[in-house]
Structure 1
Amino acid sequence: MEETGSPADETCIFLGISPENPHPQPCQPRNFLLCYTHRTHTPPRSPATRTTCSVCGGLANFEVSRKMIPSPGPLPSSRDEQERIDPPSVLGKRSRTQALVWPRDSAVQGPPWKPKRRRDKYCGAAFVVLLRKGRKMANDRGLISPSDFAQLQKYMEYSTRKVSDVLKLFEEGEMSEYLQGDAIGYEGFQQFLKIYLEADNVPDHLSLALFQSFKTGHCLEDTVIHDVVCLSDVSCYFSLLEGGRPEDKLEFTFKLYDTDRNGILDSSEVDRIIIQMMRVAEYLDWDVSELRPILQEMMKEIDYDGSGSVSLAEWLRAGATTVPLLVLLGLEMTLKDNGQHMWRPKRFPRPVYCNLCESSIGLGKQGLSCNLCKYVVHDQCAMKALPCEVSTYAKSRKDIGIQSHVWVRGGCVSGRCDRCQKKIRIYHSLVGLHCVWCHLEIHDDCLQAMGHECDCGLLRDHILPPSSIYPSVLASGQERKISKTSQKTLDDLNLSTFEALRIDPVSNTHPLLVFVNPKSGGKQGERVLWKFQYLLNPRQVFNLLKDGPEPGLRFFRDVPGCRILVCGGDGTVGWILETIDKANLPVVPPVAVLPLGTGNDLARCLRWGGGYEGQNLGKILKDLEMSKVVHMDRWSVEVIPQQTEEKSDPVPFQIINNYFSIGVDASIAHRFHIMREKYPEKFNSRMKNKLWYFEFATSESIFSTCKKLEESLTVEICGKPLDLSNLSLEGIAVLNIPSMHGGSNLWGDTKKPHGDIHGINQALGPAAKVITDPDILKTCVPDLTDKRLEVVGLEGAIEMGQIYTKLKNAGRRLAKCSEITFHTTKTLPMQIDGEPWMQSPCTEQLSSGTEATSSLSMA
């Protein structure tokens, strides 16, 4: 018995059909067709290889498996001989049952072949057996299968509907005809899925599996009728999947398996839970042979009072600790390594050969290359390609701790064998092997001389090999003790895929957590993303546009010695640092920057350069390995608006990492930001962005929208007023780092005095917190670790351009201080780390209220 779908995904289940046999034989004319989905059987009328269900008319191609059904032998020569054949036995070992079809649009016409009564008897018996088996599977399952759940999640990703909106249609709207009290039938359930998932053709096997999973007797007695489920249960289930709290999900699954509604899970109900966990583990390709005793032991650990049953409180307590119940029950399915290649189109500048057909793709021709394993194929060969060899974590205890080589044919870019140092003749045919983890390249003949263990090559300090990541359920019982995470509560719990995985990094290494913003730097972000997915474990690389930085930080929360690499602009770096502050990590890892944006001022100060220009990422990772840790100051911003009718934009950040400014430069940045939001297609390269900045700066120099700024604000430094009466300023910048506007040093260069700036601080004592003396300011050097800010005045956009082009050394140095307050009397443009906004009259306080961040600076 196997499932097969029509072009409209109308799925019927037939006897005697299995796609597992690679050499099937055609159907024979004397057997019957049984559709389990639609509860009917259909006698065939003529031999064919195309099928139509007698109920839904679904069309499909069926072939009979020799592995499943013995060959029926030669056909009978006459009707009398055919009638003497013993009827097929569905349950017997000598079954000759095969599936046969008759398409509605076939050109062959004639009376249908009618089976004898004995055949109808056995057909009916077979149907009853299959029906009972299907219902028993549904009852044993409790939840839908892992594969069905994964398919359901795909539908939900593309749907914009909310459960509350669909419920209104059923309770008060046009779908109320399907509602019977609190219950709906199968037809109503299908309409619910169609509306909620915004899909016209939800596969029947998925809707049927979901419908059966809800038939657990939750409805009131007066609404319990045949083939009816509670609408409240359905809405609760989908509401939780939309983003419900972890404790709500845990409570729902508890009630789902508590079939007798007595408030505890007894031994039989626990067995059902273990069966579901085994199915999920099998779907995730885990080694299930060793898993059952582990799961049994884990379920015993959940029974904290030793009563022999699990209460709701014990269930919730276990789910709040190291036991990933929702993942093990199949409610989080992104953990699966699906073996699919991550294809991207690529033009090859050198001769390359297809890994499937081994013929040349052609010099300069386009093919497909897998980002994960560098498997290369023609476009037409992609559908037949072998599964991807990259497995991102260990699925069995025997695979934990020792990483093996994973060899893939071809992909030998260097053209030289790392074993014998001889050339690999890559230009003549598909030759050579490369390891996807250590990136060694060898001859085919040198494979026998290579060891089994892989050390991850030159980048071993950064890589988390699959042998270091494994399901937490495979950990020993002692490692799963609740005392290890007793500080975790349901309030701060956020169950995800990564709660189910445990990381045990290789000793003396520093695993790297990589965040990539694909939108930064034009198309550079996308290229950097797939390059890191090949150089490192894909589970170390996170696309910020998908889920943000939180999943990655949770995954690496307890990894000792880890580092973070942020690939993006200054705004991306600020986003990551702010998220780290909110994550309450036990140890804050140091952060390095790969500059992809337009400004990249922080990356310049940390000596990572002004922008990534396609350099070798392997070399950059080696530089990161040799970098040193710098503790960078960070400053908090508090905005207190005045009681006015003027409206202002929301403040983008509460933390300053690079700089804060009011006036002319913020006005230019704000106009740039508005235009980019309105016409993003005009800002798709770094050069275009600079040209737009130049245009807005020219316009600002003509109109001078921030002229006589000193009349609209007052400044206090550490409680003392700063005199601006004799100055004609259009902007004020407060600097934490010596770079602004993509490399401009507004403070200017300074010859260091004897004893350096720290010597001045020591000589002045407490007075060094505030420096306004012009002579001392001439000798002050900006430092991102000195717990002080530099205040600079700007006379206009022309002066900014002169500083950027080195025609002028610096702006007007006003002060160095540890606290500064602005009082504004009208709406002014402001910006924090390149993110501008318009602010109504207010009071703004900048203070050192945030702990310094550990950053990695190139040595």
Structure 2
Amino acid sequence: MKKLSFNVCDFGQYGKFTFPPNSVTTRKAGKKLVVDRLDLPEQKDFKPIIALVNTVCGSCTGKVVYRSFLRHLHPRQVIDVQKENVKAALQWIDDYPEIDVRLVVAGGDGTISNVLETLEQFSRKPPMAVLPLGTGNDLSRVLGWGSGTDGDLNILEYLNDVHAADVQKLDRWNVMIKSKNQFGRRTVITNKKMSNYVSIGVDASVTFGMQTTRKSIPKVLSSRLLNKFLFFSFGTKDVFTRTCKGLHDNISLYLDDKLVELPGIEGIVFLNIQCWGAGVQPWKNADEELPQKIDDEVFEVFAVTSSFHIAQMQVGLASPLFIGQAKKAVVVTKNGSVLPMQCDGEAWMQTRCEFHLTHHGESMMLKKLDLSSTQKTFF
């Protein structure tokens, strides 16, 4: 009789980032399952990857990506941010500091911001890669993860890239807005966090128009192509309406406590990363003595004169108006004007206010080793 041979499965090329099925014990937390106990596999250079996927992002693309991750990772390593409590799903990260975990966020700028905000509540903040499903995807471009995907990607190759990626610090900024309530009697303070850029004026106006229109369109019809069409439509409309004309007369700008005299502009942008407006690199033609970094606790400030100026920048025919660099900024709006503002892709109409931008801290991101695909433009 032949003796049975027992071979231990090492999961091959998946072993360095996937938990074996029997290594994860779960428990019920309300109606959801959460990780209760982990047994660390004896795998050299083991770095488990947790994928957080916005399944409603990019029309059907989010669902396609979610199913692809499920085919390659342990089910507890794949989180649908639309259905699961992200904080509860990641709680085990603080309980097992010896595990070198890495995160992937598959979604748009809003999804990335929400996950970064959630990680603020953890004592340990694992580094995060991006799988771009949104429209602009500027942070993804800067970190080397590309301008977008339609879901048709090699997940195994992508996971290997995440496993091998370098850790990159990213400045995070606090946006504090002081305004009066509708009766003008009480000061209302709103705080937001910025990782990419915050702006006032024409580009925020276009984003706000897109945002408002998208909410009225069924999600099943939403797509990156539709978002580009909306961007083009609202940008073209503003060429004629010029809703933010004379912005320089309606705001006072202070950089590092110094009043800045502004030229005739329709928009001003405070930039933390190298890309803006879906692939434009506004600072690449700036003075060489003003280098741009994403981890130097300094932001860049530039202005645009119209939506047509933005369109020229999109195709490389114009540069922005360079205002300068600073560690903090204050903008005071005047004349009771209501101005469009946006922070990392979230736009709103802002009544008269004081706007304060100060350094908040750092997040840990993952930068792809091969940066050949980062500079694809919006159109």
Q: TM-score, normalised by structure 2?
A: 0.88
- 1:497, distance to aligned residue in structure 2 (A): 5.4
Secondary structure of the residue aligned to 2:82 is helix
**Could you tell me which of 357, 362, 369 is aligned with 1:846?**
357
Tell me which residue corresponds to 1:133: none
Secondary structure of the residue aligned to 1:654 is strand
Q: Which has the higher contact order (CA 8 A, sep 6+)?
A: 2
Tell me which residue corresponds to 1:823: 332
- 1:778, distance to aligned residue in structure 2 (A): 5.1
Amino acid aligned to 1:791 = V
Amino acid aligned to 1:501 = D
Tell me which residue corresponds to 1:793: 303
Q: 1:683 to 1:661 in 2, by over 3 A?
A: farther
- 1:820, distance to aligned residue in structure 2 (A): 0.3
Q: 1:784 to 1:449 in 2, by over 3 A?
A: farther
Deviations for 1:96-128, whole angstroms, at most 9, x for unmatched residues?
xxxxxxxxxxxxxxxxxxxxxxxxxxxxxxxxx
Q: 1:628 to 1:530 in 2, by over 3 A?
A: same
**Could you tell me which of 211, 216, 226 is aligned with 1:678?**
216
Q: Is the 8 A contact 1:682 1:688 kept in 2?
A: no
What CA distance in whole angstroms lies between the structure 2 residues aligned with 1:832 and 1:802?
23
**Could you tell me which of 731, 738, 742 is aligned with 2:274?**
738
What CA distance in whole angstroms lies between the structure 2 residues aligned with 1:529 and 1:656?
27
Q: Is the 8 A contact 1:513 1:552 kept in 2?
A: no
What CA distance in whole angstroms lies between the structure 2 residues aligned with 1:651 and 1:601?
28
Tell me which residue corresponds to 1:506: 41
Secondary structure of the residue aligned to 1:706 is coil
**Could you tell me which of 89, 95, 99 is aligned with 1:552?**
89
* 1:836 maps to 2:375: no
Q: 1:816 to 1:556 in 2, by over 3 A?
A: same
Deviates more, 1:552-561 or 1:826-835: 552-561
Q: Is the 8 A contact 2:166 2:368 kept in 1?
A: yes
What CA distance in whole angstroms lies between the structure 1 residues aligned with 2:190 and 2:277?
18
What CA distance in whole angstroms lies between the structure 2 residues aligned with 1:708 and 1:497?
53
What CA distance in whole angstroms lies between the structure 2 residues aligned with 1:798 and 1:450?
71
What CA distance in whole angstroms lies between the structure 2 residues aligned with 1:686 and 1:471?
37
Deviations for 1:41-86, whole angstroms, at most 9, x for unmatched residues?
xxxxxxxxxxxxxxxxxxxxxxxxxxxxxxxxxxxxxxxxxxxxxx
**Could you tell me which of 128, 132, 139 is aligned with 1:602?**
139
Secondary structure of the residue aligned to 1:556 is helix
* 1:566 maps to 2:109: no
Amino acid aligned to 1:521 = G
Tell me which residue corresponds to 1:425: none
Q: Is the 8 A contact 2:178 2:189 kept in 1?
A: no
What CA distance in whole angstroms lies between the structure 2 residues aligned with 1:538 and 1:471?
11
What CA distance in whole angstroms lies between the structure 2 residues aligned with 1:546 and 1:682?
18
Q: 1:469 to 1:644 in 2, by over 3 A?
A: closer
What CA distance in whole angstroms lies between the structure 1 residues aligned with 2:204 and 2:190?
13
Q: Is the 8 A contact 1:601 1:610 kept in 2?
A: yes
**How do 1:317-332 and structure 2 match up within 5 A?**
none
**How do 1:328-339 and structure 2 match up within 5 A?**
none
Deviations for 1:519-549, whole angstroms, at most 9, x for unmatched residues?
1122111011011111000111011111241
What CA distance in whole angstroms lies between the structure 2 residues aligned with 1:496 and 1:589?
26
Q: Is the 8 A contact 2:178 2:190 kept in 1?
A: no
Q: Is the 8 A contact 2:197 2:273 kept in 1?
A: yes
**Could you tell me which of 54, 68, 86 is aligned with 1:531?**
68
Q: Find the structure with the greater CA-based Rg.
A: 1
- 1:663, distance to aligned residue in structure 2 (A): 0.2
Q: Is the 8 A contact 1:591 1:854 kept in 2?
A: yes
Task: Name the one with the larger helix percent.
Answer: 1
What CA distance in whole angstroms lies between the structure 2 residues aligned with 1:656 and 1:498?
32
Amino acid aligned to 2:25 = Y
Q: Is the 8 A contact 2:93 2:124 kept in 1?
A: no
Secondary structure of the residue aligned to 1:710 is helix
Q: 1:535 to 1:643 in 2, by over 3 A?
A: closer
Q: TM-score, normalised by structure 1?
A: 0.40
- 1:715, distance to aligned residue in structure 2 (A): 0.6
What CA distance in whole angstroms lies between the structure 2 residues aligned with 1:744 and 1:461?
36
What CA distance in whole angstroms lies between the structure 1 residues aligned with 2:279 and 2:90?
30
Deviations for 1:113-158, whole angstroms, at most 9, x for unmatched residues?
xxxxxxxxxxxxxxxxxxxxxxxxxxxxxxxxxxxxxxxxxxxxxx
Amino acid aligned to 1:578 = E
**How do 1:232-631 and structure 2 match up within 5 A?**
451-470=6-25, 501-507=36-42, 508-559=45-96, 560-581=99-120, 583=121, 585-613=122-150, 614-631=152-169
Q: Is the 8 A contact 2:109 2:134 kept in 1?
A: yes
**Could you tell me which of 195, 198, 203 is aligned with 1:665?**
203
- 1:450, distance to aligned residue in structure 2 (A): 7.8
**Could you tell me which of 236, 240, 257 is aligned with 1:698?**
236
What CA distance in whole angstroms lies between the structure 2 residues aligned with 1:685 and 1:654?
27
Aligned-pair Cα RMSD in Å? 2.3
Amino acid aligned to 1:462 = F
Tell me which residue corresponds to 1:46: none
Tell me which residue corresponds to 1:87: none
Q: Is the 8 A contact 1:542 1:549 kept in 2?
A: yes
- State percent identity of aligned pairs: 31
Q: 1:669 to 1:651 in 2, by over 3 A?
A: farther
Q: Is the 8 A contact 1:701 1:798 kept in 2?
A: yes
What CA distance in whole angstroms lies between the structure 1 residues aligned with 2:52 and 2:219?
24
Secondary structure of the residue aligned to 2:146 is coil
Deviations for 1:806-843, whole angstroms, at most 9, x for unmatched residues?
122x2001010000011012210000001100111000
Q: Is the 8 A contact 2:201 2:268 kept in 1?
A: yes
What CA distance in whole angstroms lies between the structure 2 residues aligned with 1:720 and 1:513?
45
What CA distance in whole angstroms lies between the structure 2 residues aligned with 1:823 and 1:786?
26
Q: Is the 8 A contact 1:683 1:689 kept in 2?
A: no
**Could you tell me which of 764, 778, 782 is aligned with 2:292?**
782
- 1:496, distance to aligned residue in structure 2 (A): 7.4
Q: 1:695 to 1:683 in 2, by over 3 A?
A: farther
- 1:449, distance to aligned residue in structure 2 (A): 9.6
Q: Is the 8 A contact 1:734 1:792 kept in 2?
A: yes
Q: 1:534 to 1:500 in 2, by over 3 A?
A: closer
- 1:645, distance to aligned residue in structure 2 (A): 4.5
What CA distance in whole angstroms lies between the structure 2 residues aligned with 1:598 and 1:526?
17
**Could you tell me which of 242, 252, 262 is aligned with 1:714?**
252
What CA distance in whole angstroms lies between the structure 2 residues aligned with 1:498 and 1:555?
12
Q: 1:840 to 1:464 in 2, by over 3 A?
A: same
What CA distance in whole angstroms lies between the structure 1 residues aligned with 2:306 and 2:75?
48
Secondary structure of the residue aligned to 1:518 is coil
- 1:684, distance to aligned residue in structure 2 (A): 1.8
Amino acid aligned to 2:171 = D
Unaligned stretches of 5+ in structure 1? 1-447, 473-493, 751-776
Amino acid aligned to 1:819 = K
- 1:563, distance to aligned residue in structure 2 (A): 0.9
- 1:499, distance to aligned residue in structure 2 (A): 5.9
Q: Give the ranges of 4+ consecutive aligned residues of structure 1 lying more than 6 Å apart after TM superposition.
A: 650-653
Q: 1:683 to 1:640 in 2, by over 3 A?
A: farther
Deviations for 1:624-680, whole angstroms, at most 9, x for unmatched residues?
11110001111011111036548xxx9996100100000000000001100111123
Secondary structure of the residue aligned to 1:546 is coil
Secondary structure of the residue aligned to 2:365 is strand
What CA distance in whole angstroms lies between the structure 1 residues aligned with 2:5 and 2:315?
56
**How do 1:135-174 and structure 2 match up within 5 A?**
none
